[in-house]
Amino acid sequence: MSSLLYRLGKFSAAHPWRVIGVWFVAALLVVVASSTGGKELEDGFTVPGVDSAEALELLSVAQSDQAGITAQMVLTPTDPAASFFDSAQAQAGLAETQQMIEDLPQVLAVADATAALDGGVDDARQSGLFSPDGRIAVLPVQYPLVEELSAADLENLKAVVEAQADNEAVQVEAGGELFFTFDEPESGLGEAFGILAAIIILLLAFGSVIAMGLPIGMALFGLGLGVSSMTLVNHLIEIPFWATSIGAMVGLGVGIDYALFLVTRYREFLARDMSVDEAAGRAVATSGLAVVFAGGTVVIAILGLAVAGVPALTGAGVATSIIVAIMVMASISLLPAFLGVAGHWINRFGLHRRGVLPGDRAALSPGWERWGRHVSNHAWPYAIGVTLLLLAISAPVLGLRLGFPDDGTLAESTTQRRAYDLAAEGFGPGINGPLLIAVDISQDASIVEPLAAAIAADAGIAGVAPADVNADAGVATLLAFPTTAPQDNATVDTIARLRAEVIPDILDDSPAKAHVGGASATFADIAGRVTDRLPVFIVAVILLSFVLLTMVFRSILVPLKAAILNLLSIGASYGVLVMVFQWGWGKELIGLETTVPIVSFIPMFMFAILFGLSMDYEVFLLSRVREEYLATGDNDASVIHGIAGTARVISSAALIMIAVFGGFVVSADPVTKMFGLGLATAILVDATIVRLVLVPATMKLMGEANWWLPGWLDRILPTIDVDGEIFVN
């Protein structure tokens, strides 16, 4: 493998314009194909086999309008003393808004609030469209299935809200599923912040403008190609729109990190008076092999998200894996071509002069060598103290609550948040998360009324709308409003109780079947599916890391230690998420307006990403330690020298990752904030507390046992040398 990479790196550096041309043509073809034949990214959070999916399937088979998605218009008179019951001006504004919504393309139905008002105050109250005091009106808007819609339909709805902003009679706001499906959060700010921070860090690490520019240029090129390809991949597997933000976050981080390792090694070989193409070839054959190994583990781990059984999560994993794979390919082919163009100029335009290049094998960093010796001399206090610290930070994970942020977590400047607050004020919090109960009445139509009465009598239900019965299709639909908000634990308990007790008790002797659906039920089902499969996923990832590291380092204890330490760093990041997003500690610092549950799929997604990224630093550090040990046989000295020779590069790489991930914390979207903060925290813990304190301390304590491997296992394991010397003719 190293010989193949050597030839690839040397060829790319010797014929840079050919390689750059191939990449440019490939990127051009992808962009053109994407713009002309790409399939627009959408979002559908269905989980096959769960109760909410069966409810949707029943409605779809019956061709019910309620199988589609909905929006919700919320109106209130601008005059604080007026109501829709007594203000002709407010009634006129309501009628005008209702007509504008009805005229929109793709709208199947709008609740007829004006007709309810025409029947008098009692009829208006009984319609369920007006709050008891008449101050708030809610107009559900029914759309067809998501496959028949596009972002243009959301823009049409937003246009109505904007057009009514000058209406002096009523305040008009909107929210609902249509926004969740097509409203993409603003992007670009997080990427820009991360890139700016990476530029500064690379300048400080390399001391050269050109050396800094190559990793940035390669990462941006690879990122543009990867993101552009998503609409094409969407023809093969559904890619959710939010996957591009996550893919960009991870792609930027790994792309710049991989380039940092390669450029560092290239400059080292240049300093040994090698030619440009020889230095590039050897850099790709050594550090490039580590990049392929680390990138491959990231891809494998993220693709493992398919075990969750959530199509959107699988699609997001595929999207992120493709972007990471493109970054790996760019690192071992496009970057060497850039190095070939730069040649010896890579050290020009320097900001400062270094006597020692980062990562130079011939010289160790005196400061980091002193630190490694200090930790080694105080191994027990550091090992115990830091472990207790990480366990304390991880402890809040015991209170982890999975769910999904609703419109009530958005900024007050958004129409969705204002609509949410107005609706909750007038009707109670459950109005924002109704439950959709689909009932198969093909063999028993008499069950509808007693079922509706039983659901309405449940303590967690505020009310049930009149049943919508489609006798021809044999399907009835009940709309039930919980007493609690969509993200409350009590709402999840109500859903579980309806499924386990209320509905079975009524349908006990009936052939009819009923399923609880709606957005709140769907998110509860997703959380349940992820919770059930997360332990299996974690065990599988840990076993994979153990096997890979055993083959790489020919040791039993080193991989076991790595698995445990990875769990500590990831657990700490989970703990921080709970403290900030659930408990609200410091939420104002990241622009979070209210506490929210941890998005159900984030723990699994984070674990997959962090597993691969932590392998990066683990391999880079331990390969140097093992190299020193094989040369000297001195475990303590090899650990100290390994820290001294790699800490500067690991620190620079980690700072870049933290900056890139931290940049996404400024996003207005709570989900993106969670990813950014969680990943940045884990990298910070992994690259500092774990990699530069716990690893040397534990390796000192384990002594020669670090490198013990049973003879029989040594004979059957394949040899993987991720950073060894190469042999060329």
Q: What is the pTM of this model?
A: 0.79
Domains 70-142+150-182 and 412-523 share a fold: yes
Q: Residue 148's pLDDT is what?
A: 82
Spans of all domains in the chain: 2-37+185-403+524-716, 70-142+150-182, 412-523
Helix segments in 207-310, DSSP class H: 209-228, 230-233, 243-270, 276-303
Q: What's the pLDDT at 350?
A: 56
Three-state DSSP state, 635? helix
Cα distance between residue 624 and residue 687, in whole Å: 16
- Strands 598-599, 402-403: pairing is parallel
> What is the CATH number assigned to the segment(s) 412-523?
3.30.70.330
Please give the radius of gyration of the chain, using alpha carbons only, rounded to the nearest integer.
29
DSSP-assigned letters across all residues of 452-475: HHHHHHSTTEEEEPPPEEETTTTE
**What does DSSP say about strands 109-110 and 137-142: parallel, antiparallel, or unpaired?**
antiparallel
Q: How far is CA 444 from CA 401, 435, 449, 502, in A?
A: 39, 22, 11, 18
Which ranges constitute the DSSP H helices of 378-518? 379-394, 415-427, 448-457, 489-497, 503-506
Decide: 613 and 680 in contact? Cβ < 8 Å.
Answer: no
Residue 191: the pLDDT is 64
Angle formed by the axes of helices 243-270 and 209-228, nearest 10°: 150
- Alpha carbon separation from 327 to 43, 134, 217, 247, 251 (Å, rounded): 25, 58, 12, 11, 7
* DSSP-assigned letter for residue 478: E
| pLDDT the model gives residue 362 | 42
DSSP for residue 350: B
d(CA 421, CA 415): 10
Residue 728: its pLDDT value, please?
Answer: 45
- Pick the closest to residue 648 from 365, 376, 260, 373 (CA basis): 365
- CA 230 to mean position of chain CA atoms: 16
Q: For residue 729, what are the contacts with CB-CB under 8 A and spacing of at least 6?
A: none
CATH of domain 70-142+150-182: 3.30.70
pLDDT at 717: 78
Mean pLDDT by 10 residues, the chain (729 residues): 84 92 92 86 72 85 68 92 91 93 91 89 86 91 84 90 90 88 65 75 76 83 88 87 81 83 85 88 83 81 80 86 92 91 76 46 68 90 93 92 79 88 90 90 90 92 85 87 88 93 90 90 86 83 81 83 85 93 89 83 83 74 79 85 81 82 79 87 87 87 86 79 50
Tokens of 476: 């009835």
The CATH classification number of 2-37+185-403+524-716 equals 1.20.1640.10
- The pLDDT of residue 359 is 43
